[in-house]
A = this chain, B = another copy of it.
Amino acid sequence: MQAASLDVQLGSRSYPIHIGSGLLDDASLFARHVGESRAAIVTNTTIAPLYLERLRAALGERVALVKILPDGEEHKNLAVLSGLYDALLEARCERSCTLVALGGGVIGDITGFAAATYQRGVSFVQVPTTLLAQVDSSVGGKTAVNHPRGKNMIGAFHQPRAVIADIDTLSTLPAREYAAGLAEVLKYGLMGDAPFHRWIGANAAAIAARDPASLIEIVRRSCENKARVVAADEREEEGGSRALLNFGHTFGHAIETATGYRTLLHGEAVAIGMVMAARFSCELGWIGADDVREITALLAGFGLPVAPPSGLDAQELLSLMRGDKKSNAGRIRLVLLRQIGEAVLSRDFPEPALVALLEAFTRMSEAATA
């Protein structure tokens, strides 16, 4: 199997996800989704030397602008966004233009938000080049930039016209980034797809080796899971199922914020958050201790961290979790596991138990570094 396609079903905003090898050079595929409009490619200093010229060749005469942003989550901010608007206006990109995001989650998020807001909204195509972006951030229309007070605090829902995921780009991904993407892959199994979770466990070696057929399979099944949830709850409404995609994320966001987005990759923070959420689910009597050990071992086996870095304070994490935008009126909601493959959104836990969990995990790190 060398390619796969699926659709995100959102009525008039539906769009296809193409997954395969060699897609970056497929001029007819890009022609189909960009059409006759002018295109502005947005990428970063790391990705540009690797893949920019191939994408530029595939888009041909349409390219009106190439904007190369600095690489890194710390550049996903209003100042860099403002420079992108400047470039688009300077190149006289009009409402009919299409933005093409070539890169990982940061490029997809900031380009998508620029597309959502430039001249009150233009089309965009996602060309994700990291595993995290291919299985998660490029699908579902969430776009944003960060604010010093919190990740993704400024953003919009704006669906792409298409997602074109060339798995060849995963070959140049540093091991740490690849592993960070696998954290989100594992999330889909844990939150809603037990058969996929078992498949990952049985194929861990091929996945770790980045075997092409396995890559297509994990991207396809991850996107299917995400597309199903997004189709049911496009805008993360109160009480909607999309909140379940945040399994591991409320803990993870707090850890990312507490460490200033510098120590951990997003997927690494999510991996730690999933272990914490799994442990808490176990303490509530929902999943077994063997489940927690199996999840922890699978994450660790892919080279992911399973405990927070040292130096964090439990009360600070609690306070950050209260400020997380998924909380509501100061009450913390967590996505927990009723069983493997079934996540539930819950406010129904004693807060002292949560405090104890945070203290246990932060002490664990102190002990490990002592």
* Interface residues of A, Cβ cutoff 8 Å to B: 78, 82, 85-86, 89-90, 92, 94-96, 113, 116-121, 142-144, 147, 149-150, 152-157, 235-236, 238, 323, 325, 327-329
Contact = CB atoms under 8 A, between A and B. Distances in A.
B96 A238 contact: yes
A321 to B, nearest CB: 13
Given A78-B78, A78-B82, A329-B96, A156 B120 contact: yes
B147 A116 contact: no
A149 B329 CA distance: 40
Given A96-B328, A327-B94, A85 B117 contact: no
A288 to B, nearest CB: 34
Contact of A89 (B90, B96, B121, B150): B150
Contact of A92 (B78, B154, B323): B323
22 contacts: A78-B78, A78-B82, A85-B153, A86-B147, A86-B149, A89-B147, A89-B150, A89-B153, A94-B327, A94-B328, A94-B329, A96-B238, A96-B329, A117-B155, A119-B154, A119-B325, A120-B152, A120-B155, A120-B156, A120-B157, A121-B235, A156-B156
A118 B153 contact: yes
A90 B153 CA distance: 12
A157 B122 CA distance: 12
Given A82-B78, A85-B147, A153-B89, A117 B120 contact: no
A119 B85 contact: no
B325 A94 contact: yes
Nearest to A155: B120
B92 A120 contact: no
Given A86-B147, A89-B149, A94-B329, 14 more contacts: A85-B153, A89-B147, A89-B153, A94-B325, A94-B328, A95-B328, A96-B328, A113-B117, A118-B153, A118-B154, A120-B144, A120-B236, A121-B235, A156-B156
